[in-house]
Amino acid sequence: MTAILVTRHPGTIDWAARHGIEARVVPHLDPSTVAPGDVVMGTLPVHLAAEICDRGARYLHLTLDLPPQARGRDLSADEMERFGARLTEYLVTKGGAG
């Protein structure tokens, strides 16, 4: 089992360390490198999250309750705490259409 944190943000890396999350940090994820039993964390597009789940891995989405003025910029670990950063597991599957 490999834990992977997908982020390019230093604040997210600091936040994860504060919470004892030990993971390999990558700025981008190639889903073909994910194996069954792996744990992938981040804020991935839904089609990538579905591919991760299809490969037998777990997807934990990094969720924040961001006010509009905090969007579109790098956040510090302290700001992430203030905005309720948390990891929530999702099981994502592709539907029949498309």
- Residue 57 inside a domain? The answer is no
Concatenated DSSP letters for 5-67? EE---HHHHHHHHHTT---EEESS--GGG--TT-EEEE---HHHHHHHHHTT-EEEEEE----
Number of structural domains, the chain?
A: 1
Which two tokens mark 13?
């890396």
Asked whether residue 98 carries a pLDDT value surpassing 70, the answer given is no
By residue range, what is the domain housing residue 24?
1-35+68-98
Percent of the chain exceeding pLDDT 90 equals: 93
Q: Is the dihedral of CA 80, 83, 87, 91 positive or negative?
A: negative
Does 42 reside within a domain? no
Look at residue 62 and tell me if it is in a domain: no
Residue 26: inside a domain, yes or no?
yes
Q: What is the pLDDT of residues 66-92, one digit of tens each?
A: 999 999 999 999 999 999 999 999 999
pLDDT > 70 in the chain, percent? 98
